[in-house]
Structure 1
Amino acid sequence: MSWWIIGLIALGTFGFRVAGPLLRERIHLSPRSVRMLGLGATALLVSLAATQTVYSGEGFAGWARVLGVAVAGVLIWRRAPFVVVVVGAAALTALLRLAGIV
């Protein structure tokens, strides 16, 4: 990748970061628009997490990963501490892979 492309991306990122505080008082969005933007960001993150859970490379990632993420989701829903969520999901995934369920 050329250095000028990296510089252009850095400049664009800086521009977006500066535009927020500068335009905050000039642009007013309706409460519905603000809510929709928040829901759009949430939908984007959920779809990215689902894609990374189910696929690895060009194929199915395996049931161990899917079930590990499902356990993490249940633990988060039950409001378990973050460490418990990570260790629980990793432990289940490791045990399933040890049992031969890839």
Structure 2
Amino acid sequence: MWTAVLLACVGCYLLKLAGMSVPARVLDHPLVERVADLIPVALLAALVAVQVFAAGPGLTVDARAAGLAFAFVALLLRAPFLVVVIGAAAVAAGLRLL
């Protein structure tokens, strides 16, 4: 087990070193900048999808999906962040209570 942990540490270090070794002219390319700006959004969306629709090895639609739908609509209406989070939690909790 410790071998896997140490290999993962070395791999992470080498990946970080490779990222820091990229020349500045490559990083200043407009396409690279655009992709770098969109990667965090894509990763966050993937994490949200997994947390909302995954239940063990399968997919499920339950109160979490309704909370996500509320959050989506609230964001479209430009509601404040706290309203979005508390509202989504309240919708999901209310449906679970029923």
TM-score (norm 1): 0.70
Question: Structure 2 matches for 1:87-98, cutoff 5 A?
Answer: 87-98=86-97
Gaps of 5+ in 1: none
Partner deviation per Cα, 1:68-91 (whole Å, 9 max, x = no partner) = 011122223333333322211111
Could you tell me how far 1:8 is from its partner in structure 2? 1.4
CA distance in 1, matches of 2:82, 2:69: 16
Instruction: Give yes or no for the alignment of 1:78 onto 2:77.
Output: yes
Shifted more, 58-67 versus 4-13: the winner is 58-67
Could you tell me how far 1:11 is from its partner in structure 2? 1.9
Match of 1:65 in 2: 64
CA distance in 2, matches of 1:51, 1:63: 13
Match of 1:4 in 2: 3
One-letter amino acid of the counterpart of residue 6, structure 1: V
Q: 1:87 to 1:77 in 2, by over 3 A?
A: same
Count of residue pairs the alignment pairs up: 97
**Higher RCO structure, 1 or 2 (CA under 8 Å, sep 6+):** 1
Match of 1:28 in 2: 26
Gaps of 5+ in 2: none
TM-score (norm 2): 0.72
One-letter amino acid of the counterpart of residue 28, structure 1: V
RMSD of equivalent CA atoms? 2.5
CA distance in 2, matches of 1:33, 1:24: 12
Percentage of pairs with the same residue: 39
CA distance in 2, matches of 1:84, 1:50: 20
Match of 1:56 in 2: 55
CA distance in 2, matches of 1:16, 1:53: 30
